[in-house]
């Protein structure tokens, strides 16, 4: 999107990402958070353990729901869920964040994603088995299905992305989820 300075595809990645002083100034640590200017890519080190990431680069779009938006969505969910969905989609903030993971942490991320998928699949399959089998109590299988759905959702929300945006402020993102070794490599804010 609007990232004219950071998006030169011909720049050597090492020089671009292994932090010139100017670039390092755009990334700071603050307690357990990393504060980074929007559209500034993080260096090519694993954000969890600070090891060489061996070229595993991710640039997911991360979403941020302000607390009042979360509250509004919960209230609307009880009243009329389609409206809650629309408010959540329109009201959330998002930014693409470019970072690296080592192979170990990349694999860990994939395991959690697969686990979330298994639970979400079970939330459909278990009630379906209930309906297809007259001897089984439908209420029980529907209950189990809802439980599997919620567990899958929580795993996806908590472990689906290595980094989470906790705050948008003055075009700066506050990111949670980095390891201490990675954070220590930046100056405190």
CB nearer Zn ion, residue 41 or residue 145: 41
105 scored as a contact of Zn ion (CB under 5 A):
yes
Decide if residue 23 touches Zn ion (CB under 5 A).
no
Rounded Cα distance, 178 and 83, in Å: 34
Smallest distance, Zn ion to C-beta of residue 104, A: 5
Q: Looking at 48, 109, 174, 183, which residue binds Zn ion (CB under 5 A)? A: 48
Q: Which of 28, 37, 38, 49 binds Zn ion (CB under 5 A)?
A: 49
29 near Zn ion, rule: CB under 5 A: no
Size of the site for Zn ion (CB under 5 A): 5
d(CA 141, CA 85): 26
* 53 contacts: CB under 8 Å, gap ≥ 6: 44, 45, 46, 100, 101, 102
> In whole angstroms, how close is the CB of 50 to Zn ion at the nearest point?
7
Residue 74 CA from chain centroid, whole number = 20
Q: Give the integer Cα–Cα distance in Å for 88 and 17.
A: 34
Count of other CB atoms within 10 angstroms of residue 39: 19
Q: Which residues form the interface with Zn ion (CB under 5 A)? A: 46, 48-49, 102, 105
């Amino acid at each position: 999107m609007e990232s004219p300075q950071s998006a030169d595809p011909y720049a050597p990645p090492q020089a671009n990402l292994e932090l010139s002083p100017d670039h390092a100034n755009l990334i700071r640590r603050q307690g357990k958070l990393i504060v980074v200017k929007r559209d500034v890519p993080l260096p090519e080190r694993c954000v969890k353990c600070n090891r060489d990431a061996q070229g595993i680069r991710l640039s997911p779009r991360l979403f941020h729901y302000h607390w009042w938006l979360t509250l509004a969505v919960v209230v609307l969910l009880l009243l009329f869920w389609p409206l809650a969905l629309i408010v959540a989609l329109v009201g959330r903030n998002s930014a693409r964040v470019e970072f690296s993971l080592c192979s170990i942490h990349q694999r860990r991320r994939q395991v959690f994603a697969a686990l979330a998928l298994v639970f979400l699949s079970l939330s459909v399959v278990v009630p379906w088995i209930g309906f297809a089998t007259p001897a089984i109590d439908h209420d029980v299988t529907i209950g189990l299905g809802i439980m599997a759905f919620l567990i899958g959702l929580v795993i996806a929300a908590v472990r689906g992305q290595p980094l989470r945006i906790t705050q948008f402020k003055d075009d700066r993102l506050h990111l949670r989820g980095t390891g201490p070794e990675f954070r220590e490599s930046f100056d405190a804010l």
